[in-house]
Amino acid sequence: MLQQIGKQFWGSQQKSSENNPIKEVVEQRLHRICSLTTEAMKTYSLLFVLVLCPSLLLGQNVVDRYRNFINQHVNQGMSRTRCAEVMRTRRITAENNNCKQTNTFISSTTNAIKAVCGNAGTPYKNSANLRKSLQPFPVINCEQSGTHRPPRCEYRGRSQTVYVVLGCQDGYPVHYDRGEM
């Protein structure tokens, strides 16, 4: 880069580049400016990586956890006869990839459920992250009813109306903890 700048600047003005003190001073200053600029870029790049990237990743983590929560626990049109079908189509399994023993679906809108993490919920048992809904929700509890492995899991559904207790992060539900009568 220095050579290009030098050629552009000195090319038409002077043919001989040897023993030219002005040229040497200019080149030294350009070299110093480029070095400082490079160091500043390294510093700002490091700051970006250390400060901004984790916050972006944290934000993405909340979004991913919220999407997973919706997939596993929200189904506005859920009925107790559809447990096996919904569990299979949404690929809801236990962490070890076996059939999940129990899973609860909240039969409501995502907005109504998300509101539990705000004004439609109250802190639960002094927990920083758990909130209990102020209004009851209809839920379907799906319980495994056989010893099959995915994708052949069988479930029995049971309908209830309960106050839901949710784990919240940054105003989003990310964990279904329990339902209380």
Q: In sequence order, what are the residues at sequence separation of 6 or more whose Cβ sits closer than 8 angstroms to the Cβ of residue 26?
A: 9
Those residues whose C-beta lies under 8 Å from the C-beta of residue 64, and which sit 6 or more positions away, are none
What class does CATH assign to 73-180?
alpha beta
User: What SS3 state is found at 131?
Assistant: strand
Kindly write down the DSSP assignment for every residue of 93-118, as one continuous string: --TTSS--SEEEEE-S-HHHHHGGGT
pLDDT score recorded for residue 160: 95
Euclidean distance between the first and the last CA atom of the chain, given in angstroms as a whole number: 73
Which pLDDT does position 55 carry in this prediction?
Answer: 41
Q: Which of 13, 26, 138, 148 is nearest to 84 (CA)?
A: 148
Catalytic residues: 73, 175
Angle at 135 between CA 83 and CA 66, to 5 degrees: 55
Q: What is the pTM of this model?
A: 0.66
Count Cα atoms within 13 angstroms, Cβ side, for 140.
23
Predicted confidence pLDDT, tens digits, the chain (181 residues): 545 555 555 554 544 445 666 767 667 776 777 676 666 666 555 444 444 444 444 456 999 999 999 999 999 999 999 999 999 999 999 888 888 999 999 999 999 999 999 999 999 998 889 999 999 999 999 999 977 777 788 999 999 999 999 999 999 999 999 999 9
pLDDT of residue 16: 47
